[in-house]
């Protein structure tokens, strides 16, 4: 017999749930509570198999009640019966096994109760596993992403060091995106995408040109992705996505795998923060980082050599400028001209500061008049002259050499 505690501050809701569960012969309601503190007290004394909990309990909040119940009564499942869908992630992160809207059909609540009980039963069979593994099983069953038979199959085929989640994916019992979402919620880590995205063109370009770049930008730093050796990263299904000043971000297919996290920290010599990604995206990222595979040119972010090159060029330009300035003004560097020299240097600083605005304005004007130089080569390869509308060699209307573009939908500026 499944023993259920109903906690809701509205009597009508409690009566509705009690009447609904009265039709289920294997379920019995053992208590009711109208506030959070009473619900927690009854849970401690009755030890129910399941608690149906309102999302907005007076007194002690529903999220706090769930956290305490999960800590003190790990064999008790909690199902949220909620009005506000925005608390779903908070409820699941706190330990709830299912989330049912109050306006959902009655059958959905009954299914959620059965799935949660099955999840609790399966969790109890994992006595040799870590608490985090039991939590994953509970979420998989509570979300109805896997059936009890599938969970049992995954458990029976677990080998030493393998998690239930890893086995479930290997057996094809669940898709990687769905599993990653469950693991992210169970570990309270962000779920991120590691796939390269198109390079965004200049803001002055037409939208269709800005979003159709032939180059891709990789969200992962190349040097960071190589901090963990390839064979180790493949085995652990992890990749360091960013690193700076002794800290880094580690994308993990299983963020609950503390052993893999510790090994990644040891290999990378960084203090890492976990995020969740699918195993396929982690594998693809490792291939890009170590072997440069891909159908399009990828621009890697955070390249150390690029930063050093930029710093070297900037330092050289500053050194040349200071040397030329000292050569031209060697007579004016006498101590009696110190104040004048200071005023001149202040003026130079303000001029350099303002120069970037003049350069920006000039760039906008040039792009407006002549188009983006980075796209000129591609346009020329298509045989359309200088990239204007009618492709007749000079890019002007009617071939008269002095008219504007013929208005076929492209910008007249090119």
Highest mean pLDDT out of 68-82, 274-288, 302-316, 381-395: 274-288
Query: Is the pLDDT assigned to residue 311 strictly greater than 90?
Result: no
Tell which wins on pLDDT, 78 or 122. Answer: 78
In the predicted model, what is the mean pLDDT of residues 333-338? 67
Same domain for 9 and 144, yes or no, is yes
Query: Is the pLDDT assigned to residue 122 strictly greater than 90?
Result: no
Q: Per mean pLDDT, which range of 15-29, 114-128, 225-239 is the poorest?
A: 114-128
In the predicted model, what is the mean pLDDT of residues 215-240? 87
Place of tokens 């769905």: 178
In the predicted model, what is the mean pLDDT of residues 285-314? 65
The whole-number pLDDT of residue 307 equals: 57
In a domain, 314, yes or no: yes
Same domain for 39 and 103, yes or no, is yes
User: Do the Cβ atoms of 110 and 128 come closer than 8 Å?
Assistant: no
Q: For residue 215, what are the domain limits? A: 197-302
Same domain for 81 and 69, yes or no, is yes
Query: Is the pLDDT assigned to residue 412 strictly greater than 90?
Result: no
Tell which wins on pLDDT, 133 or 218. Answer: 218
pTM, two decimal places: 0.51
Closest to 112 measured CA to CA, from 99, 94, 124, 129: 99
User: Do the Cβ atoms of 141 and 122 come closer than 8 Å?
Assistant: yes
The whole-number pLDDT of residue 381 equals: 42
In the predicted model, what is the mean pLDDT of residues 219-248? 90
The whole-number pLDDT of residue 89 equals: 76
In a domain, 179, yes or no: yes
The whole-number pLDDT of residue 133 equals: 63
Same domain for 21 and 112, yes or no, is yes
Same domain for 156 and 230, yes or no, is no
Burial environment of residue 226 by CB neighbours within 10 A (0 to 12, 13 to 18, 19 or more): middle
Query: Is the pLDDT assigned to residue 186 strictly greater than 90?
Result: no
The whole-number pLDDT of residue 303 equals: 47
For residue 95, the domain's CATH number is 3.40.50.2300
Same domain for 295 and 316, yes or no, is no
Examine the fold and report which residue of 187, 216, 235 is the final residue of a domain before the chain moves on. 187
In a domain, 20, yes or no: yes
Query: Is the pLDDT assigned to residue 71 strictly greater than 80?
Result: yes
Same domain for 255 and 380, yes or no, is no
CA-based max dimension of the chain = 103
Same domain for 8 and 146, yes or no, is yes
Highest mean pLDDT out of 59-73, 317-331, 393-407: 59-73
For residue 269, the domain's CATH number is 3.30.300.160
DSSP H or E segment with residue 342 = helix 338-370
Query: Is the pLDDT assigned to residue 388 strictly greater than 60?
Result: no
User: Do the Cβ atoms of 401 and 394 come closer than 8 Å?
Assistant: yes
Tell which wins on pLDDT, 331 or 212. Answer: 331
Same domain for 153 and 231, yes or no, is no
């Amino acid at each position: 017999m499944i023993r259920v505690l109903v906690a809701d501050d509205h009597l009508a809701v409690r009566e509705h749930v009690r009447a609904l569960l009265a039709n289920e012969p294997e379920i019995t309601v053992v208590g009711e509570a109208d506030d959070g503190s009473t619900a927690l007290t009854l849970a401690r004394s009755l030890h129910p198999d399941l608690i149906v909990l309102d999302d907005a309990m007076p007194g002690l909040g529903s999220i706090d009640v769930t956290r305490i119940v999960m800590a003190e009564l790990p064999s008790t499942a909690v199902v949220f019966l909620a009005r506000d869908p925005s608390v779903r992630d908070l409820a699941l992160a706190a330990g709830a096994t299912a989330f049912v809207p109050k306006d959902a059909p009655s059958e959905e609540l009954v299914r959620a109760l059965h799935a949660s009980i099955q999840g609790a039963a399966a969790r109890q069979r994992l006595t040799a596993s870590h608490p985090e593994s039991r939590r994953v099983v509970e979420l998989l069953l509570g979300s109805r992403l896997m059936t009890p038979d599938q969970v049992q199959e995954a458990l029976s085929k677990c080998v030493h060091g393998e998690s239930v989640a890893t086995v479930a994916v290997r057996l094809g019992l669940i898709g990687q995106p769905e599993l990653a979402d469950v693991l992210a919620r169970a570990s309270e880590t962000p779920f991120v995408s590691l796939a390269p995205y198109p390079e965004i063109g200049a803001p002055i370009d037409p939208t269709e040109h800005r979003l159709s770049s032939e180059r891709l930008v990789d969200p992962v730093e190349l040097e960071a992705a190589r901090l963990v050796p390839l064979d180790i990263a493949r085995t652990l299904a992890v990749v360091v996505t960013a690193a700076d000043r002794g800290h880094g971000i580690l994308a993990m297919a299983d963020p609950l795998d503390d052993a893999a996290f510790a090994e990644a920290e040891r290999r990378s010599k960084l203090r890492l923060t976990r995020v969740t990604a699918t195993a396929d995206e982690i594998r693809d990222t490792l291939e890009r980082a170590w072997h440069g595979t891909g159908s399009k040119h990828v621009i890697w972010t955070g390249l150390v050599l690029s930063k050093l090159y930029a710093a070297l060029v900037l330092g050289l330009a500053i050194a040349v400028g200071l040397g030329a300035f000292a050569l031209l003004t060697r007579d004016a560097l006498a101590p009696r001209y110190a104040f004048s020299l200071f005023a001149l240097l202040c003026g130079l600083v303000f001029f350099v500061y303002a120069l970037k605005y003049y350069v920006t304005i000039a760039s906008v004007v040039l792009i407006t008049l002549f188009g983006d130089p980075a796209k000129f080569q591609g346009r020329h390869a298509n045989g359309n002259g200088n990239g204007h509308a009618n492709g007749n060699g000079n890019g002007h209307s009617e071939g008269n050499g002095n008219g504007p573009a013929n208005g076929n939908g492209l910008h007249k500026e090119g």
